[in-house]
Structures are given as C-alpha cells and as structure tokens.
Amino acid sequence: MAHVHDPYEEAKKQLRQTIELLGLSEEIYEILAYPERLIQVRLPVKMDDGTVKVFIAWRSQHNSALGPYKGGVRYHPNTDAHEVIALSMWMTWKNSLAGLPYGGGKGGIRVDPHKLSQSELMRLSKAYFEAISDLVGVDQDIPAPDVYTNPQTMAWYFDAYSRIKRGQYFGVVTGKPLELGGLQTRIIATGFGTAVAARELAKKLWGGLEGKVVAVQGYGNAGYYAAKFLHEWGAKIIAVSDSKGGILVESGLDPDEVLKVKRETRSVINFPNAKRITNEELLELDVDILVPAAIENVITEANADKIKAKAIVEAANGPTTPEAEEILTKKGIIVVPDILANAGGVIMSHIEWVNNRMGGWITEEEARNRLEQKMMNNFAKVWDYWQTKLDTSKYNMRAAAYAIAVDRVVRAMKLRGWI
C-alpha cells in the first residue's frame, strides 16, 4: 500500500530543518509549527432540487507577525484541516520571502465543485464567506483564488462581505474580476512568475532558455501560463498533462493549441498526433526543466530516483516531499521551491490590494513589470544566499529560501515582543 503523505507533517519537517539551520530555539519552533487560529465551519446549503447539503470548511490563519493573513481558498473533495494548515504555513514563508507585508492564511471547502451547479456554487461561496466574515477583512485576512476557485468566486465573496459590513471593501479579497477592482495580470501571475523563475535559473545553468526541453504536469491556470511564456521565450514544451493523463510530442507543443483542445474536450489527452502518457511517466521524462503544476506530493521517495530532469521549478504547492528532495539533492537536481517559484500570484495580489486602496492608479503594464522585477529580485536573493552562505553540496535552494523567509518572520516576532 502506498504511503500517504500528510502535508502538515511535511510542512513541520521543513520548518524543523530551517530552525536547526538557523540555530533557533525550540520555543520558536513551537510557535511557528501551529496556526494562530484554525476556523472550522459547517455550511448548510440549499441545492437546486430543494434538498439541503452540509459542507465542512476551514480557514487557517498561521502567522500575522508581518501583517494580515493572506492566502487562497480551495474547493476540493479531499481538502481537510491538515492540508489547509500546511498551506497556510507555506503562505507565511512565501509572503515573507517575497518581502510582502503579509502573514500566511489559507482556506478550503470539502466539495467537488464539478458536481454543483453555478447557482449552488454561488450559495456555497456566499455561505462560507458569511460564516468567516468577522475574521477576515482588508487589514485582517485577505483571501484569494486557489484550486477550483476563480475571479467569479471572489466576486461572490466580495458581495457577501460588502452586504454584511454595509460598505464597498474592494481590498477584502484579491483575484477579483476587472469590473470589481481586479487586474488582468492577476490571471497570468502564478504561471508567469513560475516561467520567470525558470528563465532566471536557465540563465544561471545554461546561459538562457533557448532550446531547453520542458515538461509540465498539470494544465490548469498555472501550468498553462508557465508553458505559454516558456514557449514564447524559446523553450520547447514536449509534454503536458491534466488529471486524465498526459501527451508527449518530441518535436514540441504549442501551448495555445493544447489549451484549445482542453477547453473543447475537457482534457489535453485528446490532442491529435500525440503519444499518450500517464502523469507518472511525464514526471520521469528526460527533460531540462520539469514543472509540477498540479497538486502536492507528486514527487516522493517512491519515484525520486526515476526523475531525470536537470531542474524542477515548482508551480504547485508542495509537489516534492522532503524525503524525495533529499534524493534529488544527492542526484544534483536543482529544485526551485514553491515558495519562490509560484509566488507570482500573491505578489500580484499585493499589487491589486494596494491598487484597490489607492483607488485604482496602476496600469496593467506597470503591474506586469512590477511582478516580473519582483520575481527576478527574489530569485537572485535566494540564489545568492544559497551560493554564498550555505554549503551547496549539503543544502539546496529550498533551504536558502526557507532560511530567508523564517528569519524575517522571527525578527518581526521579536520586534513585536512575542518572543
């Protein structure tokens, strides 16, 4: 029987390793290993047929030393409290590493959104935000889209909150539609940021992206835009996949053509003249860059030895387990960690949040330029720390990223007098 990975246990293991690397105390580990608040709510929702179904939902508020909690909300049938806590902890490190004035938060509803109608999803979404409305806010906790949530979901959240609080609080959520204070760049932000991280790594390793071979596991928003921009910048995308399986074309794929087929047929596997492969086979392809852009725990100790990619750039949250990364590090495979590689979404969320509070001053071009520059600066910061302050034969890029992120949070806690 396959080992089931608990993302929260893995998040704590990563934290433990960083605490030891930085020489911090056990009390600091104990403070950071648990969320400041975990909210669980039950949501009775009236279905279209008149019946009532009860859903369980969570919001984990991990740490607020650097500012209000910030992180997305996911709708997934396997979401549970441990997953949400782990994701909120990772958001603390991601926001800290990016230099944002945010702590970490994350939410989730245990639901298969594909089985609900649009009106049922609206009632569920509004019920969730009404249930947590006293614990979120422009300066308190700012949710955003995540797995199977989108700008429409954020519009429902915004409306529910505005009605309860009797005001127009545009900054209470980010990733909103353009008509409600969103920015177009937010839609591309996570995948674009991942592509920038991959490009900056390629410059360090090979002098550039031109001709480098890439495989992308997961062809949702992040995976598509990562593939799109890497393709535009000269890389060759030979394989992509979604939940139904993957495709391989050695001569290269056009990401836009693949997206068209996915939209028309609901899966990339229906792309013509391509070899069908499994998600597991995609991970083990001999490529320059592998981009896991689906879910957590896809690279484990069970398959790490079979990974042939020269570098992994994590568009998903937690796709590589700590045990697997030890194997990858020994093999000399460089992993650009999720808290660096997929931070484009939250960086853009910060730009949207600031823009909302300023009354809408920024242009899309300015927003995209700010996002790109921030991602480049963050990559350079982590790379330099790794190369100059750590033994690169012993420590990987994740160790460097976590060291920078945890140190900033700890310094903020000390300044506040928490420790």
Q: Write out the DSSP string of 269-293.
A: GG-TT-EEE-HHHHHTS--SEEEE-
Q: What average pLDDT does range 262-269 have in this prediction? A: 93
Whole-angstrom distance, CA of residue 308 vs CA of residue 346? 30
What is the model's pTM? 0.91
Give CA angle at 144 (159, 74), nearest 5°: 105
Q: pLDDT-based confidence at 297, cuts 50/70/90?
A: confident
SS3 26: helix
Tokens of 140: 């308190």
List of domains in the chain: 36-172 (3.40.50.10860), 188-341 (3.40.50.720)
Q: List, by residue number, the catalytic residues.
A: 106
Backbone angles phi, psi at 304, to 5 degrees: -60, -35
> What is the mean predicted confidence (pLDDT) over 27-46?
97
| Each residue's pLDDT tens digit, 82-99 | 999 999 999 999 999 999
Residue 1 has pLDDT above 70, yes or no: no
User: Who has greater pLDDT, 393 or 214?
Assistant: 214
What pLDDT score does 32 carry?
97
Residue 123: φ, ψ to 5°: -65, -40
Indicate if the pLDDT at residue 31 is higher than 90: yes
- For the chain, helix (H) and strand (E) counts, in that order, are 14, 12
pLDDT value at residue 393 = 84
- At 130-174, the pLDDT tens digits run 999 999 999 999 999 988 899 999 999 999 999 999 999 999 999
Instruction: Return the structure tokens found at 227.
Output: 């593939």
Tens digit of each residue's pLDDT (9 = 90 or more) over 193-252: 999 999 999 999 999 999 999 999 999 889 999 999 999 999 999 999 998 999 999 999
User: What's the pLDDT tens digit per position in 353-389?
Assistant: 999 998 878 888 999 999 999 999 999 999 999 999 9
Q: Is the pLDDT of residue 24 over 60?
A: yes
Mean pLDDT of 401-417: 97
How far, in whole angstroms, is CA 34 from its chain's centroid? Answer: 20
Share of the chain above pLDDT 90, in %: 85
pLDDT band, very low/low/confident/very high, at 306 (cuts 50, 70, 90):
very high
According to the model, what pLDDT value does residue 296 have?
74
The pLDDT value recorded for residue 101 is 97
pLDDT band, very low/low/confident/very high, at 3 (cuts 50, 70, 90): low
E strands, 300-373, in order: 311-313, 334-336
The length of the chain is 419
* 298 confidence band (pLDDT: 50, 70, 90): confident
**Spatial separation of the C-alpha atoms in residues 375 and 381, rounded to whole Å:** 10
**375 burial level (CB within 10 Å; 0-12, 13-18, 19+):** buried
Question: Quick check: 181 and 360 in contact, CB under 8 A?
Answer: yes
What is the layout of strands, in order, in the sheet containing 103-110? 37-46, 52-63, 103-110, 69-76, 141-145
